[in-house]
A and B are shown apart, each in its own frame.
Chain A
Amino acid sequence: MVLFLVFLINLSLGSVSIPPKDVFLGLFGGGSSSESWNYIILNFRLPKALTAILVGSGLSISGLLMQTLFKNPLAGPFVLGISSGASLGVALLILGSSVIGGSFILLGHNQIAVAIAASLGAFFVLSIVMILANSVKNTMAILIIGLMFGSFTAAIISVLAYFSNAEDLQQYLFWSFGSLGNLSWKELSVFTGVFFLGILLVTPNIKALNSLLLGENYAKSLGLNLSRSRNSILLSTSILTGVITAFSGPIAFIGLAVPHITKMVFNTSNHKVLIPAVAIFGAIIMLISDTIAQLPTSEYVLPINAITSMFGAPVVIWLLIRKRKIS
């Protein structure tokens, strides 16, 4: 219900504000009172709002999975180095084109090309992490391997940035701010398809995640096939964060904070409740952040990453001080 309300508000506010009544008509009725409003809603704001929902819920679920798997309240969707991989892919595409020159230049300024580069980068890192994950027994080691990948790719990106020109650097920087807009319906349908594949892979792990609340050894004693469940959890997280980063850039904070906010509100650790709850909370918070980022009635749009952290961090601190417990 709240989700639907926020969704409507998000659609109605932007550089041109459209009354919620007309938004409603534009979506479900024969059309709102203005032709240009219809156009804005259907081709610009609706895809953006849907993207916000997918990004918010996907990142929040991934964050929850990582926090339970690694028994670490500071884990988030990007601990596996997925976003670093995606960033590397995009950096190679955008910055690499100015370093190497030539044929890359044509590709470097195309949305789809960026998404493909990010997917390839994320998939590349994912494969290596999964291979290494199978040869280490200790789950904590996977966390460290993910961190190492982050540093390693950041180093390569700095080298690329050093040699590239200002214009490309700016373009890369804009990508790294994250963006929910600019997706066509076609891109959005691909996004949605992969997103639901990821969600589909999460659901069989709910039982395993609950048993992991007791720690790995107890989980094993309850009949859990640890390495199989671990791989399946890692894979679904990678698919979700991979596709989100590919289409929207590395969106910070949501994946780390939303699980904590949800756990505090619902006061439970049961993943059967938490996963849907986290998805809805993530979507709501993402929609609100996007609405704020649009700076309603002004022409400016702030980077979404700045908003999520600027408004989210104080909220988490406030909740912590009020309730103290987070895990």
Chain B
Amino acid sequence: MKNRNNIILSTKDLSIGYRSRKEKLVIASGLDLGLYQGEMVSLMGINGIGKSTLLRTLTGVQKEISGKILIQGKELRSMQPNEIAKKISVVLTERIPSNNLTVYELIALGRQPYTNWLGSLSVKDKEQISFAIEQTGLENLLEKKCDSLSDGQLQRVMICRALAQNTEIIFLDEPTAHLDIQHKIEIFKILSNLAHQLGKSILISTHEIQFGVQMSDQLWLMTRDGILSGTPDEMIENNSINKIFDTGQIKFDKDYRQFRII
């Protein structure tokens, strides 16, 4: 399903940051990024470099300072919230405030952009929900309340909800934080399956360099001088990957394919 010809999301000379009444704080500028169909992209960078700001800007929640964001050729700024919700779904780091929802109810909320004013589920909505449940292997958890789930299960449920939203793009903000290594791998496997089998464009912000290098098609490395992008092999070969960190104390070891303390 990988299709380098089909660009889903692109940015043109994009500047991101914060704008207050008096001044603007630019976090990154001159960004020309491309997210293609069927690709999994890992966005990596140190804490505070602006990964979340970039994600918020790309989903239209935060206004860009300048430049353009295009989704399948259409400018994000000109799209209605409901139109964006049919193109981009998200998995965030925040906890959901209501824990009395069942897993099925939570997943079903993913259909909101398509349902009528009362939010009733049609046959097609239910099909999409069943499909998402199948893809994420949640059949046995559907009647459970969300507060009785483990962190790993909850994260799978949130991914399932995003999948039920049936969007071309899925953004995930640190989806594997708080998880043990087994569940980290499980999440990365599910996501790579969604990209490679279903043709979704997936952008993950993550600190899991090892898994990012191993499992993603592209890396976006966010540094103080902007974003470097390329396949994991390219980024390792030309040493770009070392620019993630601005300390001299660690270095990427090409043989072990991970960072090591010098």
Q: Is A bound to B?
A: yes
In the complex, which residues of chain A have a beta carbon less than 8 angstroms from the beta carbon of B103?
none
In the complex, which residues of chain A have a beta carbon less than 8 angstroms from the beta carbon of B115?
207
A192 within 8 A of B: no
Asked if A268 and B100 sit within 8 Å, CB to CB, the answer is yes
In the complex, chain B residues 69-105 whose Cβ is within 8 Å of any chain A Cβ: 80-86, 88-90, 92, 94-101, 105
Asked if A223 and B85 sit within 8 Å, CB to CB, the answer is yes
In the complex, which residues of chain A have a beta carbon less than 8 angstroms from the beta carbon of B100?
263, 267-269, 325, 327
Q: Tell me the smallest distance from the CB of B148 to a CB of chain A, in Å.
A: 10
Asked if B84 and A213 sit within 8 Å, CB to CB, the answer is no
Asked if A215 and B94 sit within 8 Å, CB to CB, the answer is yes
Contact for B98 among A204, A207, A214, A225, CB less than 8 A: A214
A-side interface residues, number (CB < 8 Å): 25
B236 within 8 A of A: no
Contact for A220 among B61, B109, B118, CB less than 8 A: B61
Are A213 and B96 also in contact (CB < 8 A) when A206-B118, A207-B115, A222-B113 are? yes
In the complex, which residues of chain B have a beta carbon less than 8 angstroms from the beta carbon of A213?
96-98, 101, 109
How far, in angstroms, from A224 to B97 measured CA to CA in the complex? 17
Q: Tell me the smallest distance from the CB of B174 to a CB of chain A, in Å.
A: 14
In the complex, which residues of chain B have a beta carbon less than 8 angstroms from the beta carbon of A269?
98, 100-101, 105
Q: Tell me the smallest distance from the CB of B98 to a CB of chain A, in Å.
A: 4
In the complex, which residues of chain B have a beta carbon less than 8 angstroms from the beta carbon of A204?
117
Asked if A214 and B96 sit within 8 Å, CB to CB, the answer is yes
In the complex, which residues of chain B have a beta carbon less than 8 angstroms from the beta carbon of A71?
97-98
How far, in angstroms, from A325 to B89 measured CA to CA in the complex? 30
A-side interface mostly: loop
B230 within 8 A of A: no
Q: Mark B36-77, 1 if CB is under 8 A from A, else 0.
A: 000000000000000000000001010000000000000000
Q: Tell me the smallest distance from the CB of A284 to a CB of chain B, in Å.
A: 22
Asked if B61 and A270 sit within 8 Å, CB to CB, the answer is no
Are A222 and B98 also in contact (CB < 8 A) when A217-B61, A217-B92, A272-B118 are? no
Q: Mark A65-77, 1 if CB is under 8 A from B, else 0.
A: 0000001000000
In the complex, chain A residues 182-226 whose Cβ is within 8 Å of any chain B Cβ: 204, 206-207, 210-211, 213-215, 217-218, 220-225
B119 within 8 A of A: yes
How far, in angstroms, from A214 to B118 measured CA to CA in the complex? 17
Q: Mark A239-283, 1 if CB is under 8 A from B, else 0.
A: 000000000000000000000000100011110100000000000
Asked if B118 and A218 sit within 8 Å, CB to CB, the answer is no
In the complex, which residues of chain B have a beta carbon less than 8 angstroms from the beta carbon of A217?
61, 90, 92, 94
How far, in angstroms, from A263 to B145 measured CA to CA in the complex? 14
B165 within 8 A of A: yes
How far, in angstroms, from A224 to B100 measured CA to CA in the complex? 21
Q: Tell me the smallest distance from the CB of A227 to a CB of chain B, in Å.
A: 11
Q: What residue in chain A is nearest B60 (Cβ atoms)?
A: A220
Q: Mark B110-145, 1 if CB is under 8 A from A, else 0.
A: 101101011100000000000000000000000000
How far, in angstroms, from A25 to B170 measured CA to CA in the complex? 64
In the complex, which residues of chain B have a beta carbon less than 8 angstroms from the beta carbon of A211?
109, 112
How far, in angstroms, from A270 to B96 measured CA to CA in the complex? 15
How far, in angstroms, from A213 to B102 measured CA to CA in the complex? 12
B106 within 8 A of A: yes
Are A207 and B117 also in contact (CB < 8 A) when A221-B88, A269-B98 are? yes
How far, in angstroms, from A206 to B100 measured CA to CA in the complex? 17
Q: Tell me the smallest distance from the CB of B166 to a CB of chain A, in Å.
A: 12
28 contacts between A and B (CB under 8 A): A71-B97, A207-B119, A210-B109, A213-B97, A213-B98, A213-B109, A215-B94, A215-B97, A217-B90, A217-B92, A218-B94, A218-B96, A221-B85, A221-B88, A221-B89, A221-B90, A222-B109, A222-B112, A223-B81, A223-B112, A267-B100, A268-B105, A269-B105, A272-B119, A325-B99, A325-B100, A325-B147, A327-B100
New A-B pairs, 19, CB < 8 Å, besides A213-B109, A224-B112: A71-B97, A71-B98, A204-B117, A207-B115, A210-B109, A211-B109, A215-B94, A215-B96, A217-B90, A221-B90, A222-B109, A222-B112, A222-B113, A223-B84, A223-B113, A267-B100, A268-B105, A325-B99, A325-B100
Question: Which 8 residue pairs of A and B lie closest in terms of their CB atoms, listed nearest first?
Answer: A223-B85, A223-B82, A213-B98, A207-B119, A71-B97, A222-B112, A223-B113, A269-B100
Interface residues of B (CB under 8 A from A): 59, 61, 80-86, 88-90, 92, 94-101, 105-106, 109-110, 112-113, 115, 117-119, 147, 165
Interface residues of A (CB under 8 A from B): 71, 204, 206-207, 210-211, 213-215, 217-218, 220-225, 263, 267-270, 272, 325, 327
